[in-house]
Amino acid sequence: MLLATANFDAREFTGLRYRSQGREGLICIKAHSAGERHNDGGVAMTNKGFSDPATTWNRRFDVPEFIFGRGPNHYLARWADRLPAGGRVLCVADGEGRNSVWLAARGFQVDAFDIAQAGVDKARALAREHGVEVDYRVFDCDAVQWPCACYDAVVAIFVQFAAPQVRARLFERMREALRPGGVLILQGFTPRQLEYGTGGPPLVDHLYTEELLRESFVGMEILDLAAYETQLTEGSQHRGHSAVIGLAARTPAP
Ligand SMILES: C[S@@+](CC[C@H](N)C(=O)[O-])C[C@H]1O[C@@H](n2cnc3c(N)ncnc32)[C@H](O)[C@@H]1O
């Protein structure tokens, strides 16, 4: 049941307050034209931010600290032991390299890409610091052919920059990049996260539900699919009580 629409001055977006199954919640539906706030990165996004992501993310990463931290995402860390030792892994929209470097340090052969040169520069520095090699590229996930259909794992951690149409293509490419029997490891925020504001885009159609992920990866074997709440400590930008979802899924073996 819809209770009210409201403006939330602190976050500068318009929301819908709802009640469902005895619980009340808040869904953000539209950022004000003055500037969509996007708390993945701390710099308030204007509408241009979504149409010019390279500039936006380069600006966000142009600070000395690692804004999403230097350690791996917890869901990736939980699943990495299940991947074939020394296997080939692609890290999608890898940002400042926390996940790719951690995987390389565990003996995986890692390729990674991101749209932001500034993020990739920091990732290369982190790899040097850890004495590991990662093949980094700078490209827009929607603009170029991906390296190959050869990966034992594709890792996509908080890649919720994609609105539904782009996301459909992104998810298809992720699936196509896997070899038969390869595993996708994905983490994102759920719509519930809009109540917490501790990271992620404040746009409900960028967020994931179990149903969305199940439909998006139909035909893959679901190894794990769970929406849950946890305390994130990922740099300054993913910090605090958060509503997340994790998916581990395998392409059919040959
Ligand atoms: C929330 S950050 C997550 C970074 C990294 N996966 C992590 O967990 O630390 C989202 C990343 O998506 C990247 N990105 C945004 N749009 C992109 C695009 N069209 N193609 C590739 N990367 C993109 C940004 O530069 C940023 O590094």
Check if 158 has its Cβ closer than 6 Å to any atom of ligand 1: yes
For 12-45, how does the pLDDT look when each residue is reduced to its tens digit (9 = 90+)?
233 333 333 333 344 433 333 223 334 444 333 3
CATH class, range 74-250: alpha beta
Given the CA of residue 40, which atom of ligand 1 is nearest to it?
Answer: 1
For 149-164, how does the pLDDT look when each residue is reduced to its tens digit (9 = 90+)?
999 999 999 999 999 9
Contacts of 144 (CB under 8 A, 6+ apart): none
Ligand 1 pocket mutation, candidates 159, 173, 244, criterion most atoms within 8 A of CB: 159
Ligand 1 pocket mutation, candidates 115, 169, 174, criterion most atoms within 8 A of CB: 115
Poorest-confidence range of 11-15, 72-76, 141-145, 208-212?
11-15
For 75-96, how does the pLDDT look when each residue is reduced to its tens digit (9 = 90+)?
999 999 999 999 999 999 999 9
CA distance 40 to 209: 19
Calculate how far, in angstroms, residue 5's C-alpha sits from the geometric centre of ligand 1.
Answer: 31
Sign of the alpha-carbon dihedral angle for 105, 221, 78, 94: positive
- Give the mean pLDDT of 60-65: 97
For 63-72, how does the pLDDT look when each residue is reduced to its tens digit (9 = 90+)?
999 999 999 9
Calculate how far, in angstroms, residue 206's C-alpha sits from the geometric centre of ligand 1.
Answer: 13
pLDDT at position 43 is 39
Categorize the per-residue pLDDT at 135 as very low, low, confident or very high, splitting at 50, 70 and 90.
very high
CA distance 30 to 49: 15
Mean pLDDT of the chain: 84
Residue recorded with tokens 């392409």: 251
SS3 (DSSP) at 52: coil
Domain-by-domain residue ranges, the chain? 2-61, 74-250
Calculate how far, in angstroms, residue 20's C-alpha sits from the geometric centre of ligand 1.
Answer: 33
Closest among 200, 192, 194, 178 to 248, alpha carbons compared: 178
Six-digit token string for 77 = 């860390």
Calculate how far, in angstroms, residue 135's C-alpha sits from the geometric centre of ligand 1.
Answer: 16
